Structure 1
């Protein structure tokens, strides 16, 4: 769990490209910042954030020319004044031109896009009537994020130059439409107005415009209501330090690399926002010295009133095929499919939606090299109001995840996330499940086959009790089981074991009221029990409860050793017994010595088990929960398709 949260996320659409937008409200919690075993905080600073400043016109294109003022000249002068101001704030600045030269509109877009800039601001001054006056700033049509940037810049400029406030407007200007990043275009004053033209001749006035632009960009980037992303890494090796490389890939196809070390028997937290601010991104994590690790990603948000968090383990390899059992654009849900292209070539991808009524809908897209793509499922014709499963098919290997957000779903709001699985299977296992007061548990089954699936679902209860049911799932469709409604399963802890006549895909979603915390979680099932499980995340400090869930689907009672690995390298061990055909719950907060800790978990046992972790958090006005299936082995590589620091 991160040491502090900065929240808020909204989704917006710009020119057919999905982005995540953010807005206000920060909460700094009274908790220690995440530290490594050596006691060093995760790296901070935003020095690699690249701003592209575009002085409009230039060279053969003078722009407006009135009252002895050429627009191209004042635009360039304002930009040159803004550049050192923005750099002094800790950002890099890229200029589309630094001299009086001709630069086409497409060249300006290419400069920003090819460099992977986070922000694009085009500087202009206006022309119309001699009586026209004031300042106006533009964003592209329906761009919530662009409007936010334009609003910040506009407010800061107007505050300084004190001309008529003409407001923030939408327009289809070429440079707003064809840049990949958040963009705005500011019109400082009217050259056709003699009084304002006189002001534009004054260096002090131009300096004020430059200061307003710089301050507006900084306000936008430092708006405390951003989406927070954390990567949690566990090194289970008792002797060797893991030398880790993290490659971040954004929507524009640009890659940034970071290097860290994770000491033996410890856990390490990276706050991604600190080094990769204000972007949608995927991540590829690799061990440079051959020491395998465990990696998870946690995200915390406020999305259009949906407050909460989600957490998922990474996947260890890309694939040309992915399956996601859960998905809905009905019942107040927004579903997003996130696709990472970790390869160096463009990639053709088909996303197939298998609706619960048996109808299939295909969506096709092309991904840039080293990029990530976000698909808002509500934008796909035929999937606007449906329950569905998803199959992702790519020409070259990719990584796929799904994020879902919901508002007022039976009084609950929040979001959850799950990675895809590369292939269906006949057996699936879920350790977590609860149908007591305030909890609803659903099992989701995707049948991607051309024939019916006959599915046996075993529900394993504490103490060794079990009940079974047979479910029929139609070809190329998905089925939802509301476990709470099944006879004898109305108020209990429950694990699930699934056996199907043909390969299927299984997930579990839960919606809950946990002591007033109302949100939801979702997790992919495991295809087999194991004698070894790892969970990178864990937190028991004030406002956070962590549970370890153990399922024993076998016929023999299982003893397990549960080890909690702390940031300083200390290890806390406990033993637990899980009867045959049953499920066991450990509330880590109640384990002696674990009442206020951040940790990773390792579970070892002689009889194979299935292990998950659930966490619930309540910090001020931000509260929710998330869940993750354990992973059965460390790996040298981990991939995450989802990620946002906006």
Structure 2
């Protein structure tokens, strides 16, 4: 009994010593009273990240230190150091003082103004890297009449997260070179919030492992989700597949990934994606070689998922492609782009995650010709691949509509030797519905780039379409055209706006249409390939 009392006394003394010892000897305890010098920005909406600069915060947040917004505890900070804190403005915060409280005392108050929630759209990207051989960009597009301030949070896998602020003038497009913002050799996910509505894309160019060069881009997720689906995927010879998951939330995500094979077999494996971080899965290493595979991602916390692939198609055309996942299966899918011209090979990948077989009707809207139809069954728990060249024959430009009696997932991979000068491939997830407004943040007609916009009018009425091209200096150029029912049309942007311009695009139509952008390039006159992205439609 005496030994137990002695142990308890020693534990109490040790605990007290952590409180009264000099700060330099106690991890996580501030060495001086906390002082705030500036909060950036000084005003914003709930849910945005802010930086708090000053001194005496201590090296760690620990269990005692906290940040409050007019008395509302902000919880766990994104980043905490003695002179800098990054934290999310809590949902219930009101206008008033920001205060940092440590074990020693509370800091001086600094006023923060809570703004009325604007119609802002968050944008999330799971993939991103500044490793050797990769160059990553963000393109920010503001199609409206007032300047927009964007807050970009870089969720770095192996280092402290970083937050940056960028002003985007009215009707302008701004380029951000991510390698310069976060340094080299980092894997990174990105979240973007804005004071008003803003449209974002993430182009990447690469020399992958010094063997396959090219580039890809994707639209962002406009919301996180607990489920993500991918129809395409392969670990065949000459293909390397990855799954990237970004968690912008404050809680670690427990994730199950189900790998769905063409023969009906599947395997589910668990993963953890830490809060405010990203996680990458090497699919080839996970499931082995020579497998065609669809993916289902299920998480107990909302996150975002993308699937990059790098390849040497038929041991001849090397590049990389990427797509955002679909949040849910659907019975209708559209694709505006598609061709079987010389030097192009087009595929459709259909995945059925349901427990019942799906009967699928594929309508090919051929440019300047009658539609063609195809019917295919996709068994429950399997994926099917359609060779579009074999279905349509050569030299056909065709958009696609897919109707299924069961909810499925659809993607469209394409591989090419573009005009016998640039080879590679790109892929896109389909979209579930038509819209009257589409936005494309990326685009350029610089030397070594050729940009196309593909439009589909699947309706029964003629569509009057207005295209606004926005440039970096805030100037714009307009184009008007008519698109007949059940037709697709391609715009060579270089031929419309001229060469040497970075350009974002807004497309408006009096009928529901579909819009995509394909680009073919030789980046730095060294890395050739192509990329594709479906247009962005803002939520209602």
Q: Normalising by structure 2, what TM-score? A: 0.74
Alignment partners' CA distance in 2, 1:452 and 1:384: 27
Moved more, 400-409 or 581-590: 400-409
Deviations 1:25-67 (A, max 9, x none): xxxxxxxxxxxxxxxxxxxxxxxxxxxxxxxxxxxxxxxxxxx
Deviations 1:140-196 (A, max 9, x none): xxxxxxxxxxxxxxxxxxxxxxxxxxxxxxxxxxxxxxxxxxxxxxxxxxxxxxxxx
Aligned twin of 1:244: 150
Alignment counterpart, residue 615 of structure 1, candidates 504, 519, 533: 519
**Structure 1 contact 548–612 (Cα < 8 Å) conserved:** yes
Aligned twin of 1:234: 141
SS at match of 1:433: coil
Alignment counterpart, residue 485 of structure 1, candidates 372, 390, 404: 390
Alignment of 1:237-276 (within 5 A): 237-238=144-145, 240-252=146-158, 254-276=160-182
Alignment counterpart, residue 529 of structure 1, candidates 423, 429, 434: 434
Aligned twin of 1:470: 375
Alignment partners' CA distance in 2, 1:252 and 1:477: 36
Alignment partners' CA distance in 2, 1:581 and 1:282: 39
Alignment partners' CA distance in 2, 1:222 and 1:253: 13
**Structure 2 contact 139–175 (Cα < 8 Å) conserved:** yes
> Are residues 1:583 and 2:453 paired?
no
Stretches of structure 1 lacking an aligned partner (at least 5 in a row)? 1-112, 116-220, 636-646
Aligned twin of 2:234: 328
* Dislocated runs of 4+, deviation >3 Å: none
Alignment partners' CA distance in 2, 1:465 and 1:233: 39
Alignment partners' CA distance in 2, 1:363 and 1:252: 23
Alignment of 1:229-378 (within 5 A): 229-238=136-145, 240-252=146-158, 254-277=160-183, 278-287=185-194, 289=195, 291-304=196-209, 305-378=211-284
> Are residues 1:507 and 2:411 paired?
yes
Structure 1 residues 222 and 244: CA distance shift in structure 2, 3 A = closer
Aligned twin of 2:34: none
SS at match of 1:312: coil
Superposition RMSD on alpha carbons, in Å?
1.9
Stretches of structure 2 lacking an aligned partner (at least 5 in a row)? 1-78, 82-128
Aligned twin of 2:104: none
**Structure 1 contact 254–371 (Cα < 8 Å) conserved:** no
> Are residues 1:446 and 2:446 paired?
no
Alignment partners' CA distance in 2, 1:565 and 1:391: 37
> Are residues 1:385 and 2:290 paired?
yes
The Cα shift of 1:347 comes to: 1.3
> Are residues 1:597 and 2:504 paired?
no
Alignment partners' CA distance in 2, 1:408 and 1:493: 22
Alignment partners' CA distance in 2, 1:231 and 1:510: 24
Deviations 1:405-456 (A, max 9, x none): 0025351111000001110110000000010111001111111101101010
Alignment partners' CA distance in 2, 1:114 and 1:569: 38
Q: Normalising by structure 1, what TM-score? A: 0.62
> Are residues 1:404 and 2:339 paired?
no
Alignment partners' CA distance in 2, 1:254 and 1:464: 56
> Are residues 1:426 and 2:331 paired?
yes
Structure 1 residues 455 and 331: CA distance shift in structure 2, 3 A = farther
The structure whose residues are more often helix, as a share, is 1
Alignment partners' CA distance in 1, 2:258 and 2:130: 38
Alignment partners' CA distance in 1, 2:272 and 2:460: 49
Deviations 1:500-522 (A, max 9, x none): 00111111110000122110000
Deviations 1:69-96 (A, max 9, x none): xxxxxxxxxxxxxxxxxxxxxxxxxxxx
Structure 1 residues 476 and 253: CA distance shift in structure 2, 3 A = farther
The structure whose residues are more often strand, as a share, is 2
Aligned residues: 411
**Structure 1 contact 293–634 (Cα < 8 Å) conserved:** no
Alignment partners' CA distance in 2, 1:320 and 1:408: 33
The Cα shift of 1:114 comes to: 9.8
**Structure 1 contact 253–370 (Cα < 8 Å) conserved:** no
**Structure 1 contact 563–602 (Cα < 8 Å) conserved:** yes
Structure 1 residues 253 and 343: CA distance shift in structure 2, 3 A = farther
Alignment of 1:14-413 (within 5 A): 225-238=132-145, 240-252=146-158, 254-277=160-183, 278-287=185-194, 289=195, 291-304=196-209, 305-381=211-287, 383-413=288-318
The Cα shift of 1:222 comes to: 11
Alignment partners' CA distance in 2, 1:468 and 1:408: 28
